[in-house]
């Protein structure tokens, strides 16, 4: 069965500093990978996704993520964070199938706090 | 174009009661999924509806049931509420074969 690990439950970072949020997954087959962001009292918003091809994926709000098959990782990065990036970030995986996609498995989330 | 909408925003119930949550998907989306997000945790998949049928189901008891209507809107029903059912219930819709989803703002359910 697939699983997702986000090793850091909380990440404080100063404004304009770079940040990396770590995500590792467990699966014996290929999966699709996603990062979602959840602002306080809101639903989740898709940041970016990796399906295949180039291992470096660019998303919205200046975020990017790199897929590493050998390390089964999909870490999220941003070179310079803003106060508005303060939110909960979730890594997620899907096992694609021929007729439909399987259920989405979310990680426990990483709380990013940007310090002025 | 309205995104995914959910109603009500907040709901307070007592143990043993039943609740119905509603979701309207993003325009043009035919697949609706429901998630339970407990405080401080990631969303947990409950089930997914497509063409008015339950297509996938997570590890939730039969107390959790759902329905999808011909206009693709959906309901989540929970019977015999327990204190542990207190959570944010998220609805998501998709028309993307990759599984990327659009989420609604959620319904906050509190069971007393």
Convert the pLDDT of each residue in B93-112 to its tens digit: 988 777 788 999 999 999 99
Q: Residue B54: closest CA among chain A residues belongs to which residue?
A: A103
Q: Is residue A59 within 8 Å of A72, Cβ to Cβ?
A: no
Q: Select from A90, A100, A107 the Cβ nearest to the Cβ of B55.
A: A100
Given a cut of 80, whether residue B90 has pLDDT beyond it is: yes
Q: Which of residues 20-79 of B touch A (CB under 8 A)?
A: 33, 35, 40-45, 48, 50, 55-58
* Distance separating alpha carbons of residues B22 and B94, to the nearest angstrom: 16
Q: Residue B56: closest CA among chain A residues belongs to which residue?
A: A103
Q: Between vectors from CA B101 to CA A50 and to CA A10, what angle results, nearest 5°?
A: 70
pLDDT of residue A99: 45
β-strands A87-94, A24-26: how paired? unpaired
Q: Which residues in B lie closer than 8 A to residue A44 (C-beta atoms)?
A: 43, 90, 92, 101, 103
Q: Is residue A112 within 8 Å of A19, Cβ to Cβ?
A: yes
Which residue positions in chain A have pLDDT lower than 50?
98-99
- The whole-angstrom distance between A8's CA and the closest CA on chain B is 13
pLDDT of residue A40: 86
Q: Which residues in A lie closer than 8 A to residue B40 (C-beta atoms)?
A: 109
pLDDT, tens only, B59-82? 899 999 999 999 999 999 999 999
Q: Select from B45, B55, B105 the Cβ nearest to the Cβ of A104.
A: B45
Q: Between vectors from CA A26 to CA A63 and to CA B100, what angle results, nearest 5°?
A: 45
Q: Is residue B74 within 8 Å of B54, Cβ to Cβ?
A: no
């Amino acid at each position: 069965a697939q699983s997702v690990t986000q090793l850091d439950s909380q990440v404080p970072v100063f404004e304009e500093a770079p940040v990396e949020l770590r995500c590792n997954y467990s699966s014996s087959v290929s999966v699709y990978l996603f990062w979602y962001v959840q602002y306080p009292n809101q639903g989740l918003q898709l940041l970016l996704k990796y399906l295949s091809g180039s291992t470096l994926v660019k998303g919205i709000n200046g975020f990017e993520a790199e897929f590493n098959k050998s390390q089964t990782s999909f870490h999220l990065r941003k070179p310079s964070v803003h106060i508005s990036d303060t939110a909960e970030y979730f890594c997620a995986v899907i096992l694609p199938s021929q007729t439909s996609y399987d259920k989405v498995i979310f990680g426990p989330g990483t709380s990013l706090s940007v310090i002025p | 174009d309205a995104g995914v909408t959910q109603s009500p925003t907040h709901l307070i119930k007592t143990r043993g009661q039943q609740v119905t949550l509603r979701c309207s998907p993003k325009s043009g989306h035919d697949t609706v999924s429901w998630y339970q997000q407990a405080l401080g945790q990631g969303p947990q998949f409950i089930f997914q509806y497509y063409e008015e049928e339950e297509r996938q189901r997570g590890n939730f008891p039969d107390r959790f049931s759902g329905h999808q209507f011909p206009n693709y809107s959906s309901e989540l029903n929970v019977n015999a509420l327990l204190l542990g059912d207190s959570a944010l219930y998220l609805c998501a819709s998709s028309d993307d074969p990759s599984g990327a989803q659009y989420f609604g703002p959620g319904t906050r359910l509190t069971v007393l």
